[in-house]
Structures are given as C-alpha cells and as structure tokens.
Amino acid sequence: MEFNPFLKNIKTYESGKDIELIAKEFDLKEVIKLASNENPYGVSPKAKEAIINNVHLAYLYPDDTMSELKQALADKFKVQKENIIIGSGSDQIIEYAIHAKLDHSKAYLQCGVSFAMYEIYAKQLGVKVYKTQSLTHDIDELYELYKKHKNDIKVIFLCLPNNPLGECLDKTQVFEFIEKIDEDCLIVIDGAYNEFASFKDKNKHINPQELINKFINVVYLGTFSKLYGLGGMRIGYGVACKEIIDAFYKLRAPFNVANLSLKAAYAALNDEEFIFKT
Ligand SMILES: *Cc1c(COP(=O)(O)O)cnc(C)c1O
C-alpha cells in the first residue's frame, strides 16, 4: 500500500518501557521511571480525589467548552478564556501549531537537540527542519539561521528549559529575540518545565500574559504531565492571542480531552501543597 510519502522520513517515537513490564522482566520490586520525566511523587492528591469523585461521568462526553478549566487557567495567568486552548497533552498543541502554519514548502527552526515531537509532527507534512550547530539554545545562532532562511521559516520552537539537555534561556534573551522575528513567524515557547527553572531562578520565568500582551505571534505551552503529576491523563494547554487560538481550534477534534482529565487538571491547579513538594 502507498502511504503519505513524507512518512518514510519519520522515525517512530520510542517511549520508555512501562514500569510493570520492567519490574517483571528484571524481577524488581520498585521501579522509578525517569524516561519521560513523569512526576516521581505520583499524582496530585487533589487530582486523585477529583478523578474518583467524578468517575460516574465517564460514560458522558466531556463539556467541550472546557470552560471550568479554561476559566481557572485564565484567572491564573490573568488572561481571557479566549486566549486558551486545551489539548490532549501539550503535544497536541505542538501539532496544532505546526499544522496551522506549515506545509511541505515551509520550514521550522529549533536548536540542535530539543523535544522530539517538534520534528515528528513537522516531518509528517514534509516540513523542512533547520537546527543550529549548537546543541543547546544559542540565541545568536538561532537568529543568524532565521535571517538566512526567513522566507521559509514560519515556526520557531524555544524549549525553556530544554528537554532533554536542560539548559534554559533567560526571559530577557527570549523577549529580545522575539522582537527581531517577523510577525508572520509563529514562536512556540514550550514551558513544560518552566515552573521548575523559574522556581530556582526568577530570570527564567516566562509570564504568558506578558508574552501575549507584547507579541501577537507567540504561543506559550504548558502541561499537567510534569509539575502536576498527571502524565497519564494527557492534558496540556496553550496561551496565545485570540487569532492564533481560533486558528488552532479549526484543527481540534471535538471532545479532544477526557472529562476526568479536565476535572483532575482543575483540581491539581489548586493543589499548592503538592506543587510545592514537587
Ligand atoms: C513532556 C513534554 C511536553 C508535553 O507533554 P504532554 O504530556 O503532551 O503535555 C512538551 N514539551 C516538552 C519539552 C516536554 O518535556
């Protein structure tokens, strides 16, 4: 059978082995999984309670407006509900960003080594990938490469801090960089671990409200999979100006996030104790 020819160039994502399988294979009692950076402290206790208390809703499709969680995120970040999209993991928002901006005649830019999913989603569409020689985020080299290929590059990914290498640009570097980029190029700020970096160093903190008030071509991505201990619930979010969110919505399938995931995320947002412990 013939498939989309671009699929030939894609290496299938290999996720780490399941804890139970490893325990069986090596006859181990306790296994701590680090491969996908799940929270080693487990599930937020408040989220756990919410999942149990709402399990009777599992037969229903979720509230597709997702307004309860959207409002909570809007309040947290001091933005409007219209500035938020919720996905089945922030992975899904990465997919929307690529599909909304790119096709096989265009390109995206990232540092030498970053989160694997950017490249996988891009290659599905035959999008060209530009990577800096530097493995980590070198802001000058990123800009040089952008300038050279600015007619093609329509998306730039900045992973802050970077998965898997761990380095993190300062906020001022990021803002100065974005100012130099054309408004028709979408900049994706992947903040999957930004809470961790900014807890230790305030200069790493990216405030989504400040970001989207200043720039119309930026989306900030956050996830419930790491800090909040909900990797298995598959839920994350994007914050951007309404124009970008509206474009992403055209790519969204209805009911893309499970109702128990919405309830768990809503509860986890307020689980201060667990957040602090993590
Ligand atoms: C874990 C992770 C994500 C997305 O996780 P989801 O579980 O899909 O929300 C995105 N970016 C980076 C860098 C990550 O490490």
Name the average pLDDT for the chain: 96
- pLDDT tens-digit map of 27-68: 999 888 878 899 999 999 999 999 999 999 999 999 999 999
Give the CB-side neighbour count of residue 2, counting CA atoms within 13 A: 1
- Best mutation site among 43, 98, 165, 226 for ligand 1 pocket (most ligand atoms within 8 Å of CB): 226
Separation CA 186–CA 208 (nearest Å): 15
Output the residue whose Cα is nearest ligand 1's atom 6. Answer: 89
Output the residue whose Cα is nearest ligand 1's atom 8. Answer: 89
- pLDDT tens-digit map of 136-150: 999 999 999 999 999
Indicate if ligand 1 lies below 6 Å from the C-beta of 163: yes
Residue 254 three-state SS: coil
Which pairing describes strands 128-131 and 153-159: parallel, antiparallel, or unpaired? unpaired
- pLDDT tens-digit map of 189-226: 999 999 999 999 999 999 999 999 999 999 999 999 99
Cβ–Cβ < 8 Å for 153, 124: no
Cβ–Cβ < 8 Å for 84, 269: no
DSSP of 181-198? S-TTSEEEEE-TTHHHHH
